[in-house]
């Protein structure tokens, strides 16, 4: 797990390294530039022509160091610096003076106009953005806007040092942004990588070691990246005497006559991810679709829409179960809304609210309910509706909006975007970045919900655990308990995403859909288990 920092936190990290630990700032810049150069050297390609466009701040200094190391690695290096040398920061000036003294291998130009820049960069194989760094927030002004547009118009392999110029490092917002194929993160990941325009402009992220590990920081960052190497198997070790009931399984309310496929998807997801006895409540059409695909399914039917008449049967099943998932494909009929009001009052079970089950909470109505200890799975559009605010307002700082909501409600918020954010008011906030654009399809959220419900149900069925005691600890914000359950949710998400990635990389002839991702879950689980 690595820290994901704001610009202010990254600045504090540098201060700790320099003032508290005793690193010389130039050593950090030297290590940063070397890391970038080593990464560029690792890129495949026969030609070795690189242009590095440098600003006057420390990001430009990282570029000057990168230039020197690439020159020593046999690259033909061109440096274009913006502004006047006397405006450089002290460390940047130091490294600029060094490359200025070199006799060969580096051509240095001061930026004059866009035509000059375009002529220089048009013949390069690699183009490096070392212009503004994490200190830049807000829309680019001239000449930076036209410089970035010109850089984005090349066919070169584009590499950003630490943050693509124009991208807000805290929020992932911006106007004109350097469109990097790779970003070398120096010393820490930045929040802006994982949302909005950051997702589209950062490219692949390479971690650049600057000579000090951020784990030495005494102050914890607000967010961490839950990486693939942090994942544990979603299948628990079992005794041979296990049976279908002791293998666990959630109660799930999903599907309607309008969306019958959701029922089949969540059931198959729960069944394939290890649950032995999932129970499904769905409509007549949902039941037909599910039984056609999964003849083993145990189903309670309602006629058309989920309603209050089925609640007694639901509560009877929950007497024997600890996890309730409700919402995928449920629809938004008035009778369903009335029944959901009663579901939201359940306090003694682990309740997971997804999709249509979130609608009674829209426009700030969530404040009327006790969500403490519940798990909410909105995507960003649904999250904006929960808050009753336009999405473009929420997106100005999605991270703050998410933590504020979790702080206010006490829920475990699983906010779905291209990256997924999981947070709780105990201060445990994780980012997961293993998704793929092939998953942007109907049904994939339903499948994910089914896997999450299945994983939690298999834990809570263990005889040494009592759901009410667990819920009390979650509601109290008991850190080890919260961290454990959030980690299991993260493991479920990564496993689901890994299943999709395997399909993309190894079985390209197979269409990636919720159904194929679920069918491929055993392969993903084996991969995680190292089999």
pLDDT tens profile 162-220: 999 999 999 999 999 999 999 999 988 999 999 999 999 999 999 988 877 655 454 45
- Within 13 A of 298's CA, how many CA atoms are on the CB side? 15
What pTM does this model have?
0.91
Measured from the Cβ of residue 478, the count of other Cβ atoms closer than 10 Å reads: 14
Residue pair 266/449 in contact by the 8 Å Cβ criterion: yes
DSSP 171: T
Q: What pLDDT shows up at residue 217?
A: 53
Cis bond leading into 143, ω under 30°? Answer: yes
- Domains in the chain, please, with CATH? 2-222 (3.40.50.10260), 251-529 (3.40.1190.20)
Q: What pLDDT shows up at residue 47?
A: 83
Q: What pLDDT shows up at residue 213?
A: 66
Measured CA to CA, the distance from residue 488 to residue 41 in angstroms comes to 38
- Within 13 A of 16's CA, how many CA atoms are on the CB side? 17
Q: What pLDDT shows up at residue 531?
A: 58
Phi, psi values for residue 451, rounded to 5°: -70, -45
Q: What pLDDT shows up at residue 220?
A: 57
Q: Could you tell me the two tokens for 104?
A: 């060969």
pLDDT tens profile 123-174: 999 999 999 988 777 788 889 999 999 999 999 999 999 999 999 999 999 9
What DSSP letter does each residue of 115-170 carry, written as one string? HHHHHHHTT-SEEEEESSGGG--S---TTHHHHHHHHHTS-SEEEEESS-TT--TT
* 375-377 β-sheet, strand order: 189-190, 2-5, 223-225, 429-432, 420-423, 412-416, 375-377, 350-354, 323-326, 251-253, 279-283, 298-302
Q: Which residues of the chain have pLDDT under 50?
A: 216, 218-219
């Amino acid at each position: 797990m690595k820290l994901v920092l704001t610009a202010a936190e990254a600045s504090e990290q540098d201060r700790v390294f320099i003032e508290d630990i005793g690193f010389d700032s130039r050593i950090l810049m030297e290590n940063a530039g070397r890391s970038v150069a080593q990464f560029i050297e690792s890129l495949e390609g026969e030609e070795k022509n690189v242009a590095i466009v440098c600003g006057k701040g420390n990001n430009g200094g990282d570029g000057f160091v990168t230039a020197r190391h690439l020159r020593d690695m046999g690259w033909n290096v061109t440096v274009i610096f913006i502004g006047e040398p006397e405006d450089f920061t002290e460390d940047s000036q130091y490294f600029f003076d060094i490359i200025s003294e070199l006799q060969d291998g580096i051509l240095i130009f001061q930026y004059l106009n866009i035509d000059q820049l375009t002529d220089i960069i048009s013949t390069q194989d690699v183009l490096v953005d070392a212009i503004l760094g994490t200190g830049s927030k807000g829309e680019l002004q001239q000449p930076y806007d036209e410089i970035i547009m010109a850089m984005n118009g090349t066919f070169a392999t584009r590499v950003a040092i630490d943050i693509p110029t124009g991208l807000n490092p805290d929020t992932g917002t911006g106007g004109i942004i350097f469109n990097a194929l790779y970003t070398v993160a120096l010393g820490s990941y930045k929040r802006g990588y994982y949302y909005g325009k950051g997702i589209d402009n950062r490219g692949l992220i390479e971690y650049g070691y600057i000579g000090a590990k951020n784990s030495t920081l005494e102050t914890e960052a607000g967010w961490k990246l839950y990486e693939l190497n942090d994942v544990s198997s979603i299948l628990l070790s079992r005794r041979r005497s296990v049976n279908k009931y002791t293998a666990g399984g959630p109660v799930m309310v999903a599907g309607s006559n309008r969306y019958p496929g959701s029922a089949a998807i969540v059931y198959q997801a729960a069944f394939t991810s290890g649950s032995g006895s999932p129970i499904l409540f769905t409509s007549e059409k949902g039941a037909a679709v599910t039984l056609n695909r999964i003849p083993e399914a145990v189903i309670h039917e309602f006629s058309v829409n989920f309603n209050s008449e089925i609640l007694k049967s639901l509560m009877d099943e929950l007497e024997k179960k600890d996890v309730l998932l409700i919402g995928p494909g449920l629809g938004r009929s008035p009778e369903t809304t009335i029944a959901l009001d009663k579901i939201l009052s359940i306090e003694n079970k682990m309740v997971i609210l997804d999709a249509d089950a979130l609608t009674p909470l829209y426009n700030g109505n969530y404040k009327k309910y006790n969500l403490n200890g519940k798990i909410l799975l909105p995507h960003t559009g649904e999250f904006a509706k929960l808050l009753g605010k336009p999405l473009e307002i929420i997106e100005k700082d999605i991270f703050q909006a998410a933590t504020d909501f979790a702080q206010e409600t006490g829920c475990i918020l699983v906010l779905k975007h291209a990256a997924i954010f999981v947070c709780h008011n105990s201060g445990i906030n994780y980012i997961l970045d293993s998704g793929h654009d092939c998953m942007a399809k109907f049904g994939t959220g339903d499948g994910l919900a089914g896997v999450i419900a299945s994983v939690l149900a298999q834990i809570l069925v263990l005889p040494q655990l009592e759901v009410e005691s667990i819920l009390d600890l979650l509601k109290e914000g008991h850190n080890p308990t919260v961290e454990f359950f959030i980690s299991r949710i993260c493991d479920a998400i990564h496993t689901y995403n890994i299943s999709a990635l395997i399909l993309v990389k190894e079985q390209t002839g197979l269409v990636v859909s919720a159904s194929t991702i679920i069918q491929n879950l055993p392969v993903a689980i084996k991969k995680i288990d190292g089999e």
